[in-house]
């Protein structure tokens, strides 16, 4: 069934819309997507027929790429054995094609909406769990071309994309099955918005424009007082902290130094000064619980805090325990942070999601 219509007059357009909607409903039925997927499918429908083609690598090449991206062997096997084909798996192919086209359309545009990226229904088993690995394989060639056009160093390109392996491992640890933890996050990498440079990741955007804008941030009059680098429209970078080994001050300093050069060369913006960071790790209440030599407190000391905070309990539970519904008395209590979280919440207090900034040109 083609979604392209002859168009032209009003009745032709009506046929196109009807055919496209019918296709999205058919995809939903085939994949067992309930009404909670309605907005996502409608969004993908609205893109229209992609103008370029989705191409997946051959199974051996797909396996080699996923291994290079750090994916565990069980996920590589699941992804390779469920690679979809346009005629063999038309519903999964439709989804893949539309999702890839959307990411390619938004390449390099931090102002674009982050979009909806739900996990596929569990009844699809490995094929559903591997969907975002397939999307990675389908979109990566365009992302790598974009990196190349911007002269992003090759090691940065591959380190960036290898965050996939980390997120597949996180999903595997939580659910014991193939999948990608927080698939929406991985779309920033595929869109050329986010780069991993040493221990930290950096997103490239303009203040006040689109979903990458930090929250909380200064109001316009305070930003104007702080001057260039802080105002709406000023180019900036967001710092992100991937899970992994300890966040040592030396590794952070090395990352800031290299990031400054890489970002200035690949994404030159006159007058860029500040790098912002919005995270639970900047909650200044943590100094009640952690010793002064803690890496998190050392990280905090590199930043100036923006006034205000947003409640961050859910983020803390995600990044410390990877659960939200386990009662406090059943959470592990092995590390200082785990004990801190339980005693803070038991006392009826909340964690603070804060924004901080540092001058990357001096870091």
Ligand X SMILES: CC(C)(COP(=O)(O)OP(=O)(O)OC[C@H]1O[C@@H](n2cnc3c(N)ncnc32)[C@H](O)[C@@H]1OP(=O)(O)O)[C@@H](O)C(=O)NCCC(=O)NCCS
Give the residues lining the site for ligand X (CB under 6 A).
Answer: 241, 243, 246-247, 279-281, 290, 294-296, 319-320, 335-338
The sign of the dihedral angle between the CA atoms of 3, 118, 53, 76 is negative
Residue 26 Cβ, how far from ligand X at the closest point, in Å?
39
24 vs 296 by CB, closer to ligand X = 296
* Contact between 172 and 166 (Cβ < 8 Å): no
Nearest to 194 by CA among 185, 207, 183: 185
Residue 349 Cβ, how far from ligand X at the closest point, in Å?
18
The Cα–Cα gap between 259 and 156 comes to 10
Residue 132 Cβ, how far from ligand X at the closest point, in Å?
20
Phi and psi torsions of 205, nearest 5°: -160, 180
* Contact between 162 and 68 (Cβ < 8 Å): yes
Residue 110 Cβ, how far from ligand X at the closest point, in Å?
18
Residue 167 Cβ, how far from ligand X at the closest point, in Å?
12
236's CB contacts (< 8 A; 6+ apart) are: 205, 206, 207, 229, 272, 273, 274, 275, 276
228 vs 244 by CB, closer to ligand X = 244
* Contact between 273 and 229 (Cβ < 8 Å): yes
Alpha helices in the chain (DSSP H): 10-31, 38-46, 59-68, 73-81, 90-105, 125-129, 131-149, 154-161, 163-175, 183-190, 220-226, 249-266, 295-301, 313-321, 336-346
181 vs 234 by CB, closer to ligand X = 181
77 vs 343 by CB, closer to ligand X = 343
37 vs 353 by CB, closer to ligand X = 353
134's CB contacts (< 8 A; 6+ apart) are: 56, 79, 82, 83, 84, 92, 96
56 vs 331 by CB, closer to ligand X = 331
Residue 97 Cβ, how far from ligand X at the closest point, in Å?
32
The Cα–Cα gap between 27 and 106 comes to 24
Residue 191 Cβ, how far from ligand X at the closest point, in Å?
19
119 vs 338 by CB, closer to ligand X = 338
Residue 279 Cβ, how far from ligand X at the closest point, in Å?
4
Q: Would you give the DSSP letter of residue 120?
A: P
337 vs 363 by CB, closer to ligand X = 337
* Contact between 273 and 361 (Cβ < 8 Å): yes
Phi and psi torsions of 196, nearest 5°: -100, 120
């Amino acid at each position: 069934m083609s979604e392209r219509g002859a168009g032209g007059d009003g009745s032709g357009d009506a046929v196109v819309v009807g055919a496209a909607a019918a296709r999205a409903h058919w995809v939903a039925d085939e994949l067992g997507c309930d009404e909670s997927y309605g907005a996502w499918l409608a969004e993908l429908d609205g893109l229209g027929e992609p103008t370029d083609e989705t191409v997946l690598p051959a199974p051996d090449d797909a396996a080699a790429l996923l291994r290079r991206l750090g994916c565990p062997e069980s996920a590589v096997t699941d992804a390779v054995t469920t690679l979809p084909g346009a005629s063999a798996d038309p519903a999964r192919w439709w989804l893949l094609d539309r999702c890839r086209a959307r990411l390619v359309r938004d390449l390099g545009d931090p102002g674009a909406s982050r979009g909806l990226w739900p996990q596929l229904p569990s009844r699809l088993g490995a094929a559903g769990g591997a969907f975002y690995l397939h999307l990675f394989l389908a979109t990566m060639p365009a992302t790598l071309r974009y990196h190349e056009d911007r002269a992003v160093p090759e090691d940065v390109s591959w380190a960036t994309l290898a965050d996939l392996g980390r997120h597949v491992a996180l999903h595997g640890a939580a659910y014991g099955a193939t999948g990608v933890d927080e698939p929406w996050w991985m779309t920033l990498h595929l869109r050329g918005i986010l780069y991993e440079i040493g221990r930290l990741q950096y997103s490239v955007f303009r203040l006040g424009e689109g979903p990458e804008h930090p929250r909380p941030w200064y109001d316009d009059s305070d930003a104007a007082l702080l001057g260039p680098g802080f105002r709406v429209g000023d180019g900036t970078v967001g710092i992100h902290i991937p899970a992994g080994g300890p966040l040592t001050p030396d590794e952070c300093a090395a990352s800031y130094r290299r990031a400054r050069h890489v970002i200035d060369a690949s994404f030159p913006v006159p007058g860029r000064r500040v790098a912002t960071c919005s995270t639970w790790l900047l909650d200044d209440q943590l100094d009640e619980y952690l010793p002064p030599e803690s890496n998190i407190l050392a990280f905090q000391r590199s930043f100036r805090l923006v006034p205000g905070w947003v409640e961050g309990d859910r983020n803390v539970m995600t990044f410390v325990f990877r659960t939200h519904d386990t009662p406090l008395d059943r959470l592990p209590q092995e590390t200082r942070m785990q004990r801190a979280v339980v005693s803070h919440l038991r006392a009826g207090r909340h964690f603070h999601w804060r924004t901080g900034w540092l001058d990357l040109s001096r870091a």
